[in-house]
Amino acid sequence: MPTERATRDLLLYCHGFCTALTDHHVGEDRLLFPAIAAAHPELRETLRSLVQDHSMISHLVGALQAATQRAASRAEIDQHLEGIAAIMESHFAYEERQLLSVLDTLALTADPYDVLGPL
């Protein structure tokens, strides 16, 4: 079992990281992706896929938060972290391949913090 301090530190890190990641995805889903879809309708299926990833990541983050709150074993926490890392790596690579050139030319009037969160 992790020590009480390690558990507290993990909870604090998880809360900050999970909040930032969630805010980032919410901003993309609400502001960025609709703007991209309006300017580039051919990317709607790609955007739908990215939103599905966001939902899956949210579910995985929720499971990690629950595990840290109940002081799950290190092995279980590691499994949660590895799952999140795997989907995030795949998600960000796909997002970059599909949207990077579009983002360079997108005229977006929203505040970048509102769109991308603190990430």
pTM, two decimal places: 0.81
**Of the candidates 48, 57, 27, which has an alpha carbon nearest to the alpha carbon of residue 119?**
27
The Cα 14–Cα 47 span in angstroms is 27
Tell me the pLDDT band of 7, cut-offs 50, 70 and 90: low
The residues, ordered by sequence, that sit 6+ positions from 53 with a Cβ below 8 Å of its Cβ are 87, 90, 91, 94
Write the pLDDT tens digit of every residue in 10-59: 667 777 888 888 888 998 999 999 999 999 999 999 999 999 999 999 99
